[in-house]
Amino acid sequence: MPLALKDLVLKPGRDRAVRLYHPWVFSGAVQKLPKAETGDIIRIVDAEGKALGMGFFDSKSQIVARIFHFGEAVEASHSFWKEKITRALALRKELVATPETNTYRLIHAEGDGMPGVIADVYGGHTVVLQLRTQGSERLAGTLVDILKELGFERAYLKNKQYDGETSAGSIPDGFLFGEGDVAFNTLENGLQFEVNVATGQKTGFFIDQRVNRKLLGEMSAGKKVLNAFAYSGGFSVYALANGAAEVHSVDISKDAIALANKNIALNFPEANHTGIAADCFNFLKETEEQYDLICLDPPAFAKSIGAKDRAARGYKELNMKGIKKVKPGGIVFTFSCSQVIDRDLFRKIVFGAAADVHRNVRIIEQLSQPADHPINIYHPEGEYLKGLVLYVE
């Protein structure tokens, strides 16, 4: 019996992106919208009626459909979604999850063929979900059942802090199943971090910097290190774990600095570490300190295309200040997690900053997000984290 799905019809000649497996359908490509509600599963067809895929419909967004299956329609059943999640989990167990790293991203939205769904695992037992669309919200019950079947003890829904485009919000934040403390310790490469899944940034921790933290640590032995925009002190912990002589963690939030201090104490009670609650731009401008290694990992300066130019100016100013404060022969780790600032633009911004402060700068590493944040090759928008490691003469 054929599936009774409403059809979204693409304009003649506007189906190329979908045929190339791009999972977003923009409103300008649509000839006829389906008679469906936001969140409904619909079929995407070309102008001749040939089925191209299935997705979640969103009448309130420029992205009117987010495709989770390409080709002829199939039943989006419990087993359909479980197969996707089981494959995702197998990839993490192969590449990331170990007894020393029980914190990882389980589902990375389009990167795992599940648009609108983010799922991070903490402590190996607690899954924190972000369901960013009404379509993905309708999967909540199915996701709960599957996560239980896969052996996870708890799942916490956390949508309120997400500040990107979303049509979700019908389910309140809180535990979807299981109970207990929202704050607990988790492991990353054998290092301990306290995570609060209710109040922490993102889903509780910046999991996407795991590989980059390890690299910074490996370059920190014997060095005086500045971790700007430190949040919970991740880069600081790794620097100290690898023998940094001294570490300063700076963040505008007093609560963040308190958490960074706690994470340092969890791992290195006698560390030579100073937490400083201050605006990082002002700190870099006013401090007389010079550092052997500086990490610049700010929050996203641009959350929409309209903020792109302002964000570019912010990144340039920040990198100018950072490059000025590193000693000759020093290292600067610099990042952008703004999706609208692509890799090439970010590199041009850092080039401009280096040129304006008149220092010889060489790129020695180019950084991205780790294996548990896979980038769908047909969806380059999924590559949001980019970084450079600079050697400054």
> What pLDDT is recorded for position 339?
85
Residues 6+ apart with CB under 8 A from 68: 23, 54, 55, 56, 76, 113, 114, 115
Of residues 118, 197, 225, 337, which has the active-site annotation?
Answer: 337
Average pLDDT, the chain: 95
How many CA atoms does the CB half-sphere of 63 hold within 13 Å? 17
CA–CA distance, 269 with 108 (Å, rounded to integer)? 35
**What does the DSSP assignment read for 125-164?**
TEEEEEE-SHHHHTTHHHHHHHHHHTT--EEEE--TT--S
> What pLDDT is recorded for position 300?
85
* pLDDT of 162 strictly over 60: no
pLDDT digits over 28-59, tens only?
A: 999 999 999 999 999 999 999 999 999 999 99
Share of the chain above pLDDT 70, in %: 96
CA–CA distance, 276 with 156 (Å, rounded to integer)? 31
pLDDT digits over 122-146, tens only?
A: 999 999 999 999 999 999 999 999 9
Secondary structure element (H or E) that encloses residue 10, with its range: strand 7-10
Number of H helices, E strands in the chain: 10, 20
CB 228 within 8 A of CB 294: yes
- Domain residue ranges in the chain: 7-70, 78-186, 206-392
pLDDT digits over 219-236, tens only?
A: 999 999 999 999 999 999
Spell out the CATH class of 7-70.
mainly beta
Residues 6+ apart with CB under 8 A from 229: 250, 251, 280, 296, 297, 298, 299
pTM above 0.75, yes or no: yes
Q: How many CB atoms lie within 10 A of CB 255?
A: 12
Q: How confident is the model at residue 258 (pLDDT cuts 50, 70, 90)?
A: very high
CA–CA distance, 171 with 363 (Å, rounded to integer)? 45
CATH architecture of 206-392: 3-Layer(aba) Sandwich (3.40)
Q: Which tokens go with 213?
A: 């933290």
Q: What is the dihedral of CA 284, 285, 290, 295, to 10 degrees?
A: 20
Angle ∠(86,379,85) on CA atoms, nearest 5: 10
CA–CA distance, 161 with 133 (Å, rounded to integer)? 14
- Sheet architecture: strand order including 361-367: 273-277, 246-251, 224-228, 291-296, 326-336, 386-392, 361-367
* pLDDT of 247 strictly over 80: yes
CB 8 within 8 A of CB 65: yes
CA–CA distance, 68 with 81 (Å, rounded to integer)? 10
> What pLDDT is recorded for position 306?
73
Q: How confident is the model at residue 110 (pLDDT cuts 50, 70, 90)?
A: very high
Q: How confident is the model at residue 167 (pLDDT cuts 50, 70, 90)?
A: low
CA–CA distance, 325 with 290 (Å, rounded to integer)? 5
- CATH assignment of 78-186, given 3.20.20.60, 3.40.630.70, 3.30.470.20, 3.30.750.80? 3.30.750.80
Q: How confident is the model at residue 2 (pLDDT cuts 50, 70, 90)?
A: very low
* pLDDT of 101 strictly over 90: yes
> What pLDDT is recorded for position 1?
34
Is 280 among the catalytic positions?
Answer: no
> Which amino acid does the sequence have at 142?
T
Under DSSP, the state recorded for 209 is: G
How large is the C-alpha radius of gyration of the chain? 22
pLDDT digits over 294-347, tens only?
A: 999 999 886 777 788 888 999 999 999 999 999 999 999 999 998 889 999 999
> Which amino acid does the sequence have at 134?
Q
**What does the DSSP assignment read for 241-296?**
HTT-SEEEEEES-HHHHHHHHHHHHHH-TT--EEEEES-HHHHHHH----EEEEEE
Average pLDDT over residues 66-82: 97
CA–CA distance, 211 with 290 (Å, rounded to integer)? 26
CB 302 within 8 A of CB 308: yes
What are the start-end ranges of the E strands in 59-102?
63-70
> Which amino acid does the sequence have at 199?
T
Average pLDDT over residues 9-18: 97
* pLDDT of 65 strictly over 60: yes
